[in-house]
A and B are shown apart, each in its own frame.
Chain A
Amino acid sequence: MPVRLADFPRVRYGMPGNAACPGCPETMGLRYVKMALGDDVVLVIPAGCSSVIQGYTPKSGINFPILNIVFASAASAASGMQAAFESQGKDTTVIVWAGDGGTGDIGFQAMSGAAERNDNIMYICADNEAYMNTGIQRSSLTPYGAWTTTTWTGKKEHKKNIPMIMIAHEVPYVATATVGYPQDFIDKLRKAAKIKGFKYIHLLAPDPVGWKFDPSLTAKLGQLAVQTGLFPLYEYENGKLTVSVFSRLYRKPEKRVPIIEYIKVQGRYAQLMKDPEKIKGLEEEIERQWKWIDILEKSSNPSSVAQQIIKENK
């Protein structure tokens, strides 16, 4: 479904003077959420940058009703709210807005539980690839080679692939998006909101502070992540995976923007720039991403594909 910028509401959903850093991708993302879904939305936010960005209660810099909640159980609190709304006969969309830590690490168990129960909530992971709110410590979603304040010489492990893990939960809808392509994100939000059950959207959120790039480049970094092939945009719906329109060109390696263009503008990859051998680590990551997509795309039943692969490997 094409999304026209001119159709968006002109309401200010992120208020001026909120506590976000310059170039913050989270305020961009939150703005798009409300532009896409309108007013029948309630947010559940665990600890993270977004719990700070709101500013001081009783006022809030984010124009949403919000239940802030402890770090490890955002999905469960959302499930509870949704159950209450449903018993009151309301079809309010309850959205968890969590960071990569609140999603892939400390909040993972609760999210996996809500996904397995297929609770009728939407879960958005605003992935800035480290624990930014506490000062840029590595998370399981920090990419290979990236500097953080707990990986001074670059992270040794690869990024945990949460969207694929959510596909393995066989929930009705999983998508990836980035603040670099708001139309794509908004389209996916609107589609997800119409689906009953557990919806997961993984939003890549380039962070000028933690990734060390110029705050004017937030959207550009989101686009580069897609154009280098490192962060493919796709949707998984009714057991079928489809590469999204903005990523289709870049499934061919020769069409991709060289990864160096993405790395060189980010201070967190300074180590990689000194040691080109290590850049291969990220190139391998690109290959891995697309290999998964190739496998899942061919099937209407990804779990049977997984079984097939296991058989072939025996």
Chain B
Amino acid sequence: MAKAHNSISTEKLQEIARDSRVWILKAITEANSGHPGGSLSLVEIITSFYFKWLKHDPKNPNWRERDRFVLSKGHGVPALYTAMALTGYFPVGELMNLRRLGSPLQGHPDRVRLPGIEASTGSLGQGLSVAQGMALGLRLDNIDSMVYCVMGDGEIQEGQVWEAALSIPMHKLDHLCAIIDWNKGQIDGQVKDVMNIEPIADKWRAFGWNVIEADGHSFDALDWAILAAKENAANKTGKPTMIVADTLKGKGVKFMEEGKNAWHGSAPSREQLEKAIHEIMTGERK
């Protein structure tokens, strides 16, 4: 039976994060299509869950007592596929079939095609509602698992998110923990210019959530935030948790970080991939 790998060191997690960034970019380059910016901003968040905090069993993806992890910002799925491959859901080589016809690795998550994906997402704003239903169902069955849901910051412009934001505290779902990948970018520009959603933390606090702000690229900060969410659940506070994770779009690759939204939804060339891998592996930022 799988359990949370609580013992893994921060150094090891950082090493996994480095490898993950390389796999993500390789897969997107191979597909010549995908969303590198919002995948790279997710890496530490997803690595922290899949390698440390998530109660899951890659060999038994339908294990009833598992924690649920819903990626509502479906376009960030290369980061999720990479974590799933590296934890043994499927062979790592499968990552090179991203977006290929017939592949279980669809452009956005598809739970029917790929065991281990909890919800089919990609039309933004819907994952948190599905996560709510899972939390309601698990509570009815007296299953003590957590339900996690990762959203994009631009995604919370969707009205449905705020329906869920009202409803989840009302139903006292303290085992639900949402995370916002606050990477500040969206397709048409910076979130603050397209449709400002700040102050994010204050909004969720006003809706009755237990809000935690954390550096979304620091494993130590994420440890602290996720532990606080689990404690909040254990204490049966009746409040759901929202982790606002401060991140950088394109994190780890200088030209993507600086190019900002140009890298929301376009694949790097082979040359750009080489440059990016060199930077990720050596830490030399040119």
A and B: bona fide binding partners: no
Chain B residues engaging chain A, CB cutoff 8 angstroms: none
Chain A residues engaging chain B, CB cutoff 8 angstroms: none
